[in-house]
Amino acid sequence: MLIIRRETPEDIDSIRYINSQAFGQKEEAELVDKLRNRDVITLSLVAVQADQIVGHIVFSPVTVESEYSSFEAIALAPMAVLPAYQRKGIGSQLVRVGLEECRRLGHEIVVVLGHPDYYPRFGFAPGKPEGIDCEFEAPDEAWMVLELRKGALAGRSGTVRFQPEFREAM
């Protein structure tokens, strides 16, 4: 049985390991640590199976800026599942539970720079046609946005500005 819950301080080493293994490098694990150390994580969830943490997802705040205004949104990044547990629906469950919790917390807009064949199943759509640009160079099909509240993007546009930790990692 899979349990998805908020991270606890005891989970930090496992989260670091999962991100390193899932991405085959340490940058994503270091990014999560930096976000946590700066206290700019909106939501961090772990997936637990048979008393082992096998997946992790984090959401952090971003600002969407235009010439005349700005508003807050949430970035989904990173999401990781241990390689031996991938392609079993764990990542999808993390994303669904995470998005629902963000909605419950009152957030309206989520952005992700992710695989264009994966995230649309959760309702994500290309960001540029919605008027939401990324401050980094990113393939149009990989830069996506999701309204957690219908109409949240109405009359809004701009460029997403990430936390400094993301800029350092890019």
Distance separating alpha carbons of residues 100 and 108, to the nearest angstrom: 11
pLDDT for position 8: 97
Banded pLDDT at 162 (limits 50, 70, 90): confident
The count of other CB atoms within 10 Å of the CB of residue 20 is: 16
Instruction: Express each pLDDT in 143-157 by its tens digit.
Output: 999 999 999 999 999
Whether the pLDDT of residue 103 is over 80: the answer is: yes
User: Which has the closest alpha carbon to 53: 45, 61, 65, 63?
Assistant: 45
Do residues 55 and 90 touch, judged by C-beta distance below 8 A?
Answer: yes
pTM score of the predicted model: 0.94
To which H or E segment does residue 16 belong?
Answer: helix 12-23
CATH superfamily of 2-169: Gcn5-related N-acetyltransferase (GNAT) (3.40.630.30)
**Residue 78: is the preceding peptide bond cis (ω within 30°)?**
yes
Q: Residue 169: its pLDDT value, please?
A: 55
Q: Could you read off the pLDDT of 62-80 as tens digits, one per residue?
A: 999 999 899 999 999 999 9
Name the pLDDT band for 129 (thresholds 50, 70, 90). very high
Cα–Cα distance for residue pair 6/14, rounded to 1 Å? 13
User: In this structure, what DSSP letter does residue 114 have?
Assistant: -
Confidence band, pLDDT 50/70/90 cuts, at residue 164: confident
